[in-house]
Amino acid sequence: MELYGYFRSSASYRVRIALALKGLPVTHHAVHLVRGEQEAAAYRALNPSGLVPLLVDGDERIGQSLAILEYLDEVHPVPPLLPADPGGRARVRSLALDIACEIHPLNNLRVLRHLTQGLGLDEAAKLAWYRHWVALGLAAVEARLAGDARTGRCCHGDQPTLADAVLVPQVFNAERFDCPLDAMPTVRRIAAHCRALPAFEAAHPSNCPDAA
Amino acid sequence: MELYGYFRSSASYRVRIALALKGLPVTHHAVHLVRGEQEAAAYRALNPSGLVPLLVDGDERIGQSLAILEYLDEVHPVPPLLPADPGGRARVRSLALDIACEIHPLNNLRVLRHLTQGLGLDEAAKLAWYRHWVALGLAAVEARLAGDARTGRCCHGDQPTLADAVLVPQVFNAERFDCPLDAMPTVRRIAAHCRALPAFEAAHPSNCPDAA
């Protein structure tokens, strides 16, 4: 398989975690987002959305990190990224979506650029925007994790799932932008536990071939 | 089953479409977003995220529309919302996520309110923001749909999938905010086809019990 991604893209980071958890080898292709390589015609031909990550598996070209995670889990089911029961699967997916739909889309590179270059926000206002959505979104995730007996060492039980593969990159981003996480002890505890696991360590941006 | 939602919430609309496609009866509970009912303590106790929709099925309380759609498809598999092959499933999910992660989160009510009340944008700037993300996001979806032989009368073949349940509410929103769709003939064709189907018609905001 081949993965087109960017070391700091948290959506790419999610996919690297899933590949590492499943022990799947992959060839990395760097798409440098800050340099705009995702807009190049050659990349658009591969992925008309102009986004990373993109997974190529034989004839399949799959964009959107959560679709890639589900695909990997269907084609390489061991170890599973989702629990077996429909209620547990729904909980894991909805935790992942609480981050992937409510935090990340508001804070990715193209939105931040639109805020500064399109709307003229200064750096302080941009940072305030970033931290606002992280605070709001992770508070909701914290409330859900802290208030549910299904939470274990990981978001759902003691084995990493799709929710952990989304949570850890979001916490990485939050720390990079100095977002306060004091009110989120469960989020911090789970992220610390997962980050110490070899698969999460291997997937860390600093261990990515295109890391600066 | 019980569905907590709001007639104009496109995430609620997606779930209504899926329920109607599968012929599943549901009790509707209105959560009036403009009046802030999603922030009420009683609702937060049900859904700590403070978002709609929320599906209650026995002991299960499931938030996030895409997690609900996957749950419904697992528990009530006929008619399916996803194709059988992993590559097709990934395509449908990634099309849905191209809307649910790249367009909708930027344009929902709480973000629009933050733009005007938090950042002081005027109505024209708010509308420009809305239309910018619809134009960018739906252009990507159009390119994917128009360039793939798997596209049929619906997003994937001739039967509605999870992608159509997400596309139709997004097109409804785009039209409500006068977003130009001239450059998106495939999107318009598929939306028109689906909207004429009885399940989509039944799920339309104007047919929702809490419609104004």
Asked whether residue B207 is domain-assigned, the answer is no
With 90 as the cut, is the pLDDT of residue B212 above it? no
Which residue range forms the structural domain that includes residue B20?
Answer: 2-79
Location of structure tokens 């850890």: A168
Chain B residues touching residue A147 (CB < 8 angstroms): 48
At A84-102, the pLDDT tens digits run: 999 999 999 999 999 999 9
Distance CA A27, CA A55 (A): 10
Asked whether residue B205 is domain-assigned, the answer is no
Mean pLDDT over B174-184 rounds to 97
Given B40, B58, B79, which residue is the final one in a domain? B79
Asked whether residue B212 is domain-assigned, the answer is no
Do A13 and A58 belong together in one domain?
yes
Nearest CA to CA, how far is B196 from chain A (Å)?
Answer: 28
With 90 as the cut, is the pLDDT of residue B90 above it? yes
Asked whether residue B210 is domain-assigned, the answer is no
Do A182 and A122 belong together in one domain?
yes
Do A12 and A53 belong together in one domain?
yes
Residue A35: per-residue pLDDT: 92
Which residues, at least 6 apart from A42, have a Cβ–Cβ distance to it below 8 Å?
Answer: none
Which of the four pLDDT bands, split at 50, 70 and 90, describes residue A111?
very high
Closest-CA residue of A relative to B137 is A49
CB contact A105 to B (< 8 Å)? yes
> Do A66 and B97 touch, CB atoms closer than 8 A?
yes
Asked whether residue B42 is domain-assigned, the answer is yes
Which of the four pLDDT bands, split at 50, 70 and 90, describes residue B88?
very high
Do B71 and B92 belong together in one domain?
no
Mean pLDDT over A41-48 rounds to 94
> Residue A130: phi, psi to the nearest 5?
-55, -50
Three-class secondary structure of residue A122 per DSSP: coil
Residue A103: per-residue pLDDT: 98
> Do B14 and B166 touch, CB atoms closer than 8 A?
yes
Do A116 and A140 belong together in one domain?
yes
Residue B45: per-residue pLDDT: 93
Task: Report the Cα A139 to chain-centroid distance in Å.
Answer: 17
CB contact A132 to B (< 8 Å)? yes
- Rounded to two decimals, the ipTM of the complex is 0.98
At A50-71, the pLDDT tens digits run: 999 999 999 999 999 999 999 9
Given B46, B79, B112, which residue is the final one in a domain? B79
Facing A101 at nearest CB: one of B74, B98, B105 = B105
Residue B125: per-residue pLDDT: 96
CB contact A120 to B (< 8 Å)? no
CB contact B86 to A (< 8 Å)? yes
Residue A10: per-residue pLDDT: 96
Which residues, at least 6 apart from A101, have a Cβ–Cβ distance to it below 8 Å?
Answer: B64, B66, B100, B101, B104, B105
Do B60 and B153 belong together in one domain?
no
Which residues, at least 6 apart from B128, have a Cβ–Cβ distance to it below 8 Å?
Answer: none
Nearest CA to CA, how far is A82 from chain B (Å)?
Answer: 12
Which of the four pLDDT bands, split at 50, 70 and 90, describes residue B139?
very high
- Omega within 30 of 0 (cis) for the link into A53: yes
Nearest CA to CA, how far is A68 from chain B (Å)?
Answer: 7
Facing B49 at nearest CB: one of A66, A111, A144 = A144
For residue B60, the domain's CATH number is 3.40.30.10
Q: Is B97 exposed, middle or buried (0-12, 13-18, 19+ CB in 10 A)?
A: buried
Q: Tell me which of A33-47, A80-94, B129-143 is least confident.
A: A33-47
Do B69 and B91 belong together in one domain?
no
3-state helix, strand, coil in chain A (%, to 5): 55, 10, 35
Asked whether residue B130 is domain-assigned, the answer is yes
CB contact A64 to B (< 8 Å)? yes
Residue A14: per-residue pLDDT: 98
Looking at chain B, how many residues does it have? 212
Three-class secondary structure of residue B30 per DSSP: strand
The whole-chain average pLDDT of chain A stands at 97
Facing A98 at nearest CB: one of B60, B64, B97 = B64
Residue A69: per-residue pLDDT: 98
Do A156 and A188 belong together in one domain?
yes
A:B CB pairs within 8 Å: 124
Given B79, B96, B122, which residue is the final one in a domain? B79
Chain A residues touching residue B104 (CB < 8 angstroms): 101
For residue B155, give both structure tokens.
């997003």
Distance CA B111, CA A115 (A): 13
With 90 as the cut, is the pLDDT of residue A212 above it? no
Facing A94 at nearest CB: one of B64, B102, B118 = B64
DSSP secondary structure string for all residues of B57-126 = ETTEEEESHHHHHHHHHHHS-SS-SS-SSHHHHHHHHHHHHHHHTTTHHHHSHHHHHIIIIIT---HHHH
Q: What is the dihedral of CA B26, B102, B98, B18, to 10 degrees?
A: 0
Which of the four pLDDT bands, split at 50, 70 and 90, describes residue A149?
very high
Residue A198: per-residue pLDDT: 98
For residue B143, the domain's CATH number is 1.20.1050.10
Distance CA B157, CA B42 (A): 42
Do B95 and B171 belong together in one domain?
yes
Do A110 and A192 belong together in one domain?
yes
Which of the four pLDDT bands, split at 50, 70 and 90, describes residue A12?
very high
How many structural domains compose chain B?
Answer: 2
Distance CA A135, CA A184 (A): 9
Do A185 and A143 belong together in one domain?
yes
Do B187 and B125 belong together in one domain?
yes
Residues of chain A above pLDDT 90, percent? 99
Interface of B with A in 149-208 (CB under 8 A): none
